[in-house]
Amino acid sequence: MSKSTQYVSHQIDANGYIDYSEQEHDIWQQLYARQITNLPGRACKAYLDGIDALGMSVDRIPQLPEIDSVLKQATGWETAAVPALISFGKFFELLANKRFPVATFIRSKEEFDYLQEPDIFHEIFGHCPLLTNPAFANFSHLYGQLGLAASKEDRVFLARLYWFTVEFGLMQSAANEPLNIYGGGILSSPGETMYALGDEPERKPFELLDVLRTPYRIDIMQPIYYVIEHIDYLDEIGKMDIMAHVQKAKALGLFEPKFAPKAIAQAN
Report yes or no on whether pTM surpasses 0.85: yes
Distance CA 251, CA 120 (A): 37
Q: Residue 103 belongs to what H/E stretch?
A: strand 99-103
pLDDT in tens, the chain (268 residues): 445 678 889 999 999 999 999 999 999 999 999 999 999 999 999 999 999 999 999 999 999 999 999 999 999 999 999 987 899 999 999 999 999 999 999 998 888 776 778 899 999 999 999 999 999 999 999 999 999 999 999 999 999 999 999 999 999 998 889 999 999 999 999 889 999 999 999 999 999 999 999 999 998 999 999 999 999 999 999 999 999 999 999 999 999 999 988 765 454 4
Q: What are phi and psi of 32, to 5 degrees?
A: -65, -50
Indicate the angle between helix axes 64-75 and 134-149, nearest 10 degrees: 100
From 258, 211, 216, select the one nearest 234 (Cα to Cα). 211
What architecture is the 22-252 domain classified under in CATH?
A: Orthogonal Bundle (1.10)
Q: Which residues make up each annotated binding site?
A: 122, 127, 167
Q: Which residues make up each annotated binding site for Fe cation?
A: 122, 127, 167
Half-sphere exposure of 90 (CA within 13 A, CB side): 12
Q: Residue 178 belongs to what H/E stretch?
A: none
